[in-house]
């Protein structure tokens, strides 16, 4: 069963609607830069190198999911060189779900798209997509897997889309700090207004005009709550059997929702649908 | 006085004009990729990391000018990971002039343009410029300075133009392997669609190879069957009420499926989900 944490951020659409509305309508407000989420990183040096790359290109929100060698880590501090501030402000989580709970839009970095049907973005397109969403006050992030293993399919299934760098077929393995560097570099590159002009074709919910609950992307926590609800009912009904097939069935269902680009209102609609379908009609049952 | 060595390569425009002309007129010929010239590199690890970045993005001509710790270097081999071939084939020179003697067009990488009046290119523009020249059978290269000191003014004065990566003013210092990586990445990015194969599709959904039921879009008829199934069950459960709201609720649900980009397999999965949710478990009903 998935554990759902609300995450540390304020959830858009929660109780303080006035403040959220102001935030969404103030384009002059500094962008909330994407979070860089390192999932089970192994070497402190690589965390430090990643922090350095982030600082080089204006990123600061480093999140670590269960770093192998614990935290804080002296080797990370040494490798970060002058970027110690990013390391010092890094936050640590037990689970991916907790680390990305407050985010609205999340990418998963992987060398090779797996069998999942998911949008695949280059670092350049990914940076543009995140920039567009950040401009609309969405919270965004990019997940990077462990050095050897990368992100597993369950982690990838939590993301909206896949980030893959074009590499030479002859030597396709990018190191963790290299991958963080390329994304961070493209993030800074796409900041200039000139570069922004051509970002027009991103696939996702329309973000024009004043956002409403109909168009405001659900947070990860809201989405995880929906998954938990649906999968719990499907477990009870016997749909997710045999047990050895359950993981791939769950991933496939989650990926359909990610492709949909689920809004806050969608989450409410789906939870209503699930409740309705699992309830026998009072009169004719 | 500058010492000029001819270097190891044939210089275009030299004595064998006929051969050079043929080469320029044969676009199918593989490009001569740019040389990466590390001037007085200090740490073997950084040479290895640079070699790895080169291999990741299809570069192979590594040239070292008077590496501090001699050559070959075990730390370089270790850091190169799978890119040992680039390290093995690296060539070593006593002077910059010897290292770049056979090149037609050379860039100097520096964090901050000095007082020289020289064209300054971003990694992206530099890659495009080198690509254009390589297509015309010119030999090209990019120089990178030592870790701490960078390239001195005399080295920069040997180059045709300056290569500078955009960085955050707050933390502008790029490491040597980072700088090599960014140039190599942009080099691969600017290759022709033909050379890159499937990498050109990264800006859109990955739909490579033979379509399977997992990726093949559902027909409208399959989708309508799914709508009918779901809406019928929702009508029975009383979810689509009051009646005057039913049309907009149905549209909203259908639009979620359209945004998802439903495949044939998705239709089967959803119909299974609906059937499972509307069926009471045999034991606990």
**How far is it, in rounded angstroms, from Cα B71 to Cα B68?**
9
- Whether residue A242 lies within 8 A of chain B, CB to CB, comes out as no
pLDDT in tens, B167-199: 988 888 899 999 999 999 999 998 754 333 332
Return the pLDDT at A29.
56
Contacts of residue B236 in chain A, CB cutoff 8 Å? 281, 284
Q: What torsion, rounded to 10 degrees, do the Cα atoms A19, A13, A125, A61 define? A: 60
CA of B280 to nearest chain A CA: how many angstroms apart? 7
Flag whether pLDDT at B11 surpasses 90.
no
Using DSSP's 3-state secondary structure scheme, residue A102 falls into coil
Nearest-CB residue to B168 (from A57, A122, A234): A57
**Interface list for A 107-136 with B (CB within 8 A):** 113, 115, 117-122, 124-125
pLDDT in tens, B12-49: 333 343 343 334 444 455 678 999 999 999 999 999 99
- Name the pLDDT band for B115 (thresholds 50, 70, 90): low
Residue given tokens 């993301």 in the structure block:
A159
Return the pLDDT at B114.
61
Nearest-CB residue to B56 (from A171, A274, A284): A171
B203 or A191: whose pLDDT is higher? A191
- Name the pLDDT band for A120 (thresholds 50, 70, 90): confident
CA of A94 to nearest chain B CA: how many angstroms apart? 30
Tell me the β-bridge partners of A107: A142, A161
Burial of A282 (0-12, 13-18, 19+ CB in 10 A): exposed
The closest of B168, B140, B165 to B150, measured between CA atoms, is B165
Displacement of CA A5 from its chain's centroid (Å): 14
Nearest-CB residue to B234 (from A122, A125, A273): A273
Would you list the domain boundaries of chain B? 3-203, 220-278
A171 or A127: whose pLDDT is higher? A127
The two structure tokens encoding residue B98: 């010897």
- Name the pLDDT band for A224 (thresholds 50, 70, 90): very high
The closest of B242, B271, B246, B277 to A280, measured between CA atoms, is B277
**Is the CB of residue A64 less than 8 Å from the CB of residue A47?**
yes
b/e burial code for range B138-156 (CB count within 10 A of at least 16 → b): bbbbbbbbbbeebbeeebb
Please judge whether B82 and A171 are an interchain contact, meaning their C-beta atoms are less than 8 angstroms apart: yes
Return the pLDDT at B280.
65
**Interface list for B 53-82 with A (CB within 8 A):** 53, 55-58, 81-82
**Is the CB of residue A158 less than 8 Å from the CB of residue A100?**
yes
- Name the pLDDT band for A179 (thresholds 50, 70, 90): very high
Please judge whether A164 and B280 are an interchain contact, meaning their C-beta atoms are less than 8 angstroms apart: no
Flag whether pLDDT at A26 surpasses 70.
no
**Is the CB of residue A155 less than 8 Å from the CB of residue A38?**
no
**Is the CB of residue A150 less than 8 Å from the CB of residue A38?**
no
Q: Beta-carbon neighbour count of residue A243 at 10 Å?
A: 7
Contacts of residue A260 in chain B, CB cutoff 8 Å? 256-257, 259-260
Burial of A198 (0-12, 13-18, 19+ CB in 10 A): exposed
The closest of A213, A210, A76, A185 to B166, measured between CA atoms, is A185
Contacts of residue A230 in chain B, CB cutoff 8 Å? 273
Tell me the β-bridge partners of A129: none
Return the pLDDT at B10.
37
Residue given tokens 């670092």 in the structure block:
A123
Q: Beta-carbon neighbour count of residue B60 at 10 Å?
A: 18
User: What is the complex's ipTM, to 2 decimals?
Assistant: 0.71
At CB < 8 A and 24+ separation, what contacts does A154-158 make? A154/A247, A154/A251, A155/A39, A155/A96, A155/A108, A156/A108, A156/A110, A156/A114, A156/A116, A156/A118, A156/A251, A157/A116, A157/A250, A157/A251, A157/A254, A157/A255, A157/A258, A158/A96, A158/A97, A158/A100, A158/A106, A158/A108, A158/A220, A158/A254
The two structure tokens encoding residue A133: 């969403």
Phi, psi of A236 (to 5 degrees): -60, -35
Phi, psi of B6 (to 5 degrees): -70, -20
Q: What percentage of chain B exceeds 70 in pLDDT? A: 77
Mean pLDDT score, A160-172: 89
Return the pLDDT at B257.
86
**How far is it, in rounded angstroms, from Cα A232 to Cα A235?**
5
CA of A143 to nearest chain B CA: how many angstroms apart? 18
For residue B282, give Cα distances in angstroms to B230, B270, B272, B277, B279: 22, 21, 17, 13, 9
Q: Is B14 left (phi over 0), alpha (psi -120 to 50) or beta?
A: beta
**How far is it, in rounded angstroms, from Cα B242 to Cα B71?**
80
**How far is it, in rounded angstroms, from Cα A89 to Cα A67?**
15
Displacement of CA B264 from its chain's centroid (Å): 33
Compute the mean pLDDT over every residue in chain A, rounded to the nearest whole number: 81
Contacts of residue B276 in chain A, CB cutoff 8 Å? 233-234, 237-239
Please judge whether B259 and A205 are an interchain contact, meaning their C-beta atoms are less than 8 angstroms apart: yes
Sheet hosting strand B161-163, strand order edge to edge: B91-93, B61-65, B35-39, B140-144, B105-109, B161-163, B120-121
Please judge whether B82 and A173 are an interchain contact, meaning their C-beta atoms are less than 8 angstroms apart: yes
Please judge whether A56 and B173 are an interchain contact, meaning their C-beta atoms are less than 8 angstroms apart: yes
Which residues, other chains included, contact B131 with Cβ-Cβ below 8 Å and sequence gap of 6+?
A: B31, B187, B190, B191
B8 or B115: whose pLDDT is higher? B115
Please judge whether A234 and B124 are an interchain contact, meaning their C-beta atoms are less than 8 angstroms apart: no
**How far is it, in rounded angstroms, from Cα A276 to Cα B239?**
6
At CB < 8 A and 24+ separation, what contacts does B14-19 make? none
Q: List the Cα angle A68/A48/A171 in 5-degree steps.
A: 85
**B3-203: CATH architecture:** 3-Layer(aba) Sandwich (3.40)
Burial of B4 (0-12, 13-18, 19+ CB in 10 A): exposed
**How far is it, in rounded angstroms, from Cα A110 to Cα A176?**
10
Compute the mean pLDDT over every residue in chain B, rounded to the nearest whole number: 80
The two structure tokens encoding residue A105: 């839009």
Interface test with A, best of B85, B147, B172, B181 (most A CBs within 10 A): B181
Nearest-CB residue to B168 (from A58, A115, A124): A58
**How far is it, in rounded angstroms, from Cα A275 to Cα A226?**
11
Nearest-CB residue to A121 (from B171, B202, B230): B202
Contacts of residue A89 in chain B, CB cutoff 8 Å? none
**Residue-by-residue DSSP string for A197-262:** TT-----SS---SS--TTTSBPPHHHHHHHHHHHHHHHHHHT-S-SGGGHHHHHHHHHHHHHHH--
């Amino acid at each position: 069963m998935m554990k759902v944490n609300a995450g540390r951020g304020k959830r858009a659409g929660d109780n303080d609607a006035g403040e959220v509305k102001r935030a969404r309508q103030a384009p002059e407000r500094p962008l909330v830069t994407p979070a860089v989420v390192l999932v089970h990183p192994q070497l402190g040096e690589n965390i430090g190198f990643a922090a350095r790359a982030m600082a080089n290109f204006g990123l600061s929100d480093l999140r670590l999911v269960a770093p192998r060698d614990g935290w804080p880590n002296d080797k990370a501090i040494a490798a970060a060189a002058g970027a110690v501030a990013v390391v010092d402000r890094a936050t640590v989580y037990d689970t991916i779900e907790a680390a990305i709970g407050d985010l609205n839009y999340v990418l998963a970095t992987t060398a090779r798209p797996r069998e999942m049907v998911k949008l695949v973005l280059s670092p350049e397109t990914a940076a543009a997509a995140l920039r567009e969403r950040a401009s609309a006050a969405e919270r965004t992030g990019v997940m990077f897997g462990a050095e050897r293993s990368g992100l597993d399919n369950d982690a990838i299934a939590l993301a909206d889309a896949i980030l893959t760098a074009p590499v030479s077929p002859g030597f396709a393995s990018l190191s963790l700090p290299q991958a963080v560097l390329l994304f961070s570099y493209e993030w800074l590159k796409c900041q200039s207004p000139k570069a922004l002009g051509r970002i027009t074709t991103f696939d996702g919910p329309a973000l024009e005009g004043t956002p409403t609950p109909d168009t405001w992307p659900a947070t990860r926590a809201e989405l995880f709550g929906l998954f938990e609800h649906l999968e719990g009912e499907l477990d009870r009904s016997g749909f997710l059997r045999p047990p050895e097939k359950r993981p791939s069935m769950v991933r496939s269902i989650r990926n359909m929702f990610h492709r949909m680009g689920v809004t806050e209102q969608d989450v409410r609609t789906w939870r209503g649908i699930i409740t309705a379908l699992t309830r026998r009609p009072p009169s004719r049952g």
